[in-house]
């Protein structure tokens, strides 16, 4: 008999069907055995009546997480037992036959109960099966899919960026060394150089892939491996276009989340943000003047935003500008990577931006330097050796249009959308200084 998904059972009242899935819970009541069965689409209650001898024999062995194939009759529940607000709350599966597909050892605790983060992470192959985890990672999968759909629809070509690279793109200290090769190689901190090269090929490109950062500290917003959603586009007139297109993606994402994930947001007690058609934009200098004026603490001399400033600006944007998002633009050249385009009026500032959302930076983006000589000069200014970047520089030797792009951290976006404080809980298999699957100290 063909498998029926649990979400569709209500369309089969009075019929015999086969479902496949896991035992979620078992409850014995006298001669009756009740189960909740679970598959990817939801849960349903099943019952073994005393006269179903062979089902009873198998059913009495079952425990949570055993994998089964169950043949049964879909019955309407009597009115007094109906739970209308619950999925399948008005039906029940009268179990006729059970085939065990796989046994499971006794579970360490009931799936879905609150446990501390370390226990949760130690047991991910089990704990990820909980409704809460499934909701988080369904939302995450939807964010990534929406990225593909949106940029695909805007004429962007997806590409796979390499993860093993010669020199680090961001020019920072936080890159991992790989010692296998003749020269020390690195794990990519971002697809930056490759997405720029690919603009020379397809004009508009995007990539979704893992990147690696040897962050020194274990914080609630840093991972050593995260998923970067990157785009890069050619023939722009200004970096405003990059903010516009990211804005467009976020509007599209909120529509998709409302359509497909409202139950997941409700389960996690989170709200889908309303994304303004034009997210407010403020230069770093104006932001610092504002923070100084409102808080009395002078931050106008600082080259960057501190986490507390990011939080302050987000509260301001929400309360005064009616937006959960705010773009902060024109960071100092000294604080931005070598490839960032300089502001024409004041080259000590860049034509780049950060996007802040609910207290945290989720994106960095910018127009890039596209002129070969300017790029080489910028590298030298940053004390980088252009020779080391000669491979990448070919793209500019052979002609590159004005271009720009952004990188959006998937896990940070997921966490902030869902009101999760620690980014690790919005990461499927988080790696940090203390843990790669198991605690490293063990």
Query: Does 150 interact with ligand AMO (rule: CB under 6 A)?
Result: no
Instruction: Work out which of 38, 43, 186, 222 binds ligand AMO, going by CB under 6 A.
Output: 222
Tokens linked to 118 = 């370390």
CB of 207 vs ligand AMO, minimal distance in Å: 10
Instruction: Work out which of 362, 369, 375, 420 binds ligand AMO, going by CB under 6 A.
Output: 362
CA dist list (Å): 134 to 37, 139, 417, 425:
16, 9, 15, 12
Query: Does 68 interact with ligand AMO (rule: CB under 6 A)?
Result: no
Q: Which of residues 192-211 bind ligand AMO (CB under 6 A)?
A: 192
Contact in structure between 275 and 362 (CB atoms under 8 Å)? no
Under DSSP, the state recorded for 155 is T
Query: Does 223 interact with ligand AMO (rule: CB under 6 A)?
Result: yes
Angle at 276 between CA 271 and CA 278, to 5 degrees: 155
Q: Say which residues have a Cβ less than 8 Å from residue 232's Cβ, sequence separation at least 6.
A: 195, 196, 198, 199, 204, 205, 206, 403, 404, 405
Tokens linked to 7 = 């979400």
Contact in structure between 314 and 361 (CB atoms under 8 Å)? no
Instruction: Work out which of 175, 323, 343, 363 binds ligand AMO, going by CB under 6 A.
Output: 363
Q: State the greatest distance between any 2 C-alpha atoms of the chain, in Å, as a whole number.
A: 86
Tokens linked to 304 = 């960057």
Task: For ligand AMO, give the closer residue by CB, 127 or 224.
Answer: 224
Q: Which of 18-26, 50-58, 358-366, 428-436 is the region at the interface with ligand AMO (rule: CB under 6 A)?
A: 358-366
Cβ-closest residue to ligand AMO?
A: 409
Under DSSP, the state recorded for 438 is E
Instruction: Work out which of 206, 226, 249, 331 binds ligand AMO, going by CB under 6 A.
Output: 226
Distance CA 437, CA 432 (A): 9
Instruction: Work out which of 72, 200, 365, 430 binds ligand AMO, going by CB under 6 A.
Output: 365
CB of 280 vs ligand AMO, minimal distance in Å: 18
CB of 367 vs ligand AMO, minimal distance in Å: 10
Query: Does 21 interact with ligand AMO (rule: CB under 6 A)?
Result: no
Under DSSP, the state recorded for 390 is H
Q: Which of 43-51, 273-281, 363-371, 378-386 is the region at the interface with ligand AMO (rule: CB under 6 A)?
A: 363-371
Task: For ligand AMO, give the closer residue by CB, 24 or 411.
Answer: 411
Instruction: Work out which of 213, 309, 424, 435 binds ligand AMO, going by CB under 6 A.
Output: 213
Q: Is the dihedral of CA 244, 246, 250, 255 positive or negative?
A: positive
Q: Is 300 left (phi over 0), alpha (psi -120 to 50) or beta?
A: alpha
Query: Does 97 interact with ligand AMO (rule: CB under 6 A)?
Result: no
Number of neighbouring beta carbons within 10 Å of residue 89 = 15
Q: Which of residues 402-441 bind ligand AMO (CB under 6 A)?
A: 405-407, 409, 411-412, 423
Task: For ligand AMO, give the closer residue by CB, 247 or 364.
Answer: 364
Distance CA 44, CA 89 (A): 8
Contact in structure between 372 and 392 (CB atoms under 8 Å)? no
How does strand 91-102 pair with strand 42-48? parallel
CB of 148 vs ligand AMO, minimal distance in Å: 17
Q: Which of residues 253-272 bind ligand AMO (CB under 6 A)?
A: none
CB of 364 vs ligand AMO, minimal distance in Å: 3
Task: For ligand AMO, give the closer residue by CB, 230 or 264.
Answer: 230
State which H helix or E strand residue 240 sits in: helix 240-260
Query: Does 366 interact with ligand AMO (rule: CB under 6 A)?
Result: yes
Q: Which of residues 278-307 bind ligand AMO (CB under 6 A)?
A: none
Q: Which residues bind ligand AMO (CB under 6 A)?
A: 170, 190, 192, 213, 215, 222-223, 226, 228, 230, 361-366, 405-407, 409, 411-412, 423
């Amino acid at each position: 008999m063909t498998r029926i998904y649990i979400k569709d059972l209500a369309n089969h009242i009075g019929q015999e069907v086969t479902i496949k899935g896991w035992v979620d819970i078992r409850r014995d009541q006298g001669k009756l055995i009740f189960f909740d069965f679970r598959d990817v689409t939801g849960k349903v209650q099943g019952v073994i009546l005393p006269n179903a001898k062979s089902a009873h024999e198998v059913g009495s062995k079952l425990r949570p997480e055993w994998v089964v194939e169950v043949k049964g009759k879909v019955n309407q529940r009597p009115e007094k037992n109906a739970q209308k607000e619950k999925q399948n709350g008005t039906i029940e599966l009268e179990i006729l036959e059970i085939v065990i597909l796989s046994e499971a050892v006794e579970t360490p605790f009931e799936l879905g109960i609150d446990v501390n983060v370390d226990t949760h992470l130690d047991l991910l192959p089990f704990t990820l099966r909980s409704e809460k985890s499934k909701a988080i990672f369904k939302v995450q999968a939807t964010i990534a899919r929406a990225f593909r759909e949106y940029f695909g629809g805007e004429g962007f070509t997806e590409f796979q960026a390499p993860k093993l690279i010669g020199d680090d793109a961001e020019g920072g200290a936080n890159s991992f060394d790989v010692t296998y090769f003749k020269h020390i190689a690195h794990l990519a901190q971002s697809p930056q150089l490759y997405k720029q090269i690919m603009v020379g090929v397809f004009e508009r490109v995007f990539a979704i892939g893992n990147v690696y950062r040897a962050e020194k500290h274990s914080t609630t917003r840093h991972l050593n491996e995260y998923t970067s959603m990157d785009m890069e586009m050619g023939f722009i007139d200004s970096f405003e276009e990059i903010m516009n297109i990211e804005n467009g993606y976020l509007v599209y994402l909120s529509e998709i989340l409302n359509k497909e994930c409202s139950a997941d947001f409700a389960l996690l007690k989170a709200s889908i943000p309303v994304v303004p058609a034009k997210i407010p934009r403020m230069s770093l200098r104006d932001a610092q003047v504002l923070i100084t004026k409102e808080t009395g603490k002078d931050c106008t001399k600082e080259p960057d935003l501190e986490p507390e400033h990011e939080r302050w600006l987000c509260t301001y944007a929400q309360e005064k500008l009616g937006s959960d998002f705010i773009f902060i633009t024109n960071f100092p050249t000294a604080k931005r990577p070598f490839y960032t385009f300089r502001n024409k009026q004041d080259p000590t500032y860049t034509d780049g931006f950060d996007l802040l959302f609910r207290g945290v930076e989720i994106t960095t983006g910018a127009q890039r330097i596209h002129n070969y000589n300017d790029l080489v000069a910028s590298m030298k200014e940053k004390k980088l050796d252009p020779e080391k970047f000669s491979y990448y520089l070919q793209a500019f030797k052979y002609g590159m249009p004005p271009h720009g792009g952004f990188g959006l951290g998937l896990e940070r976006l997921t966490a902030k959308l869902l009101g999760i404080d620690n980014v690790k809980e919005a990461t499927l298999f988080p790696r940090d200084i203390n843990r790669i699957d198991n605690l490293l100290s063990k």
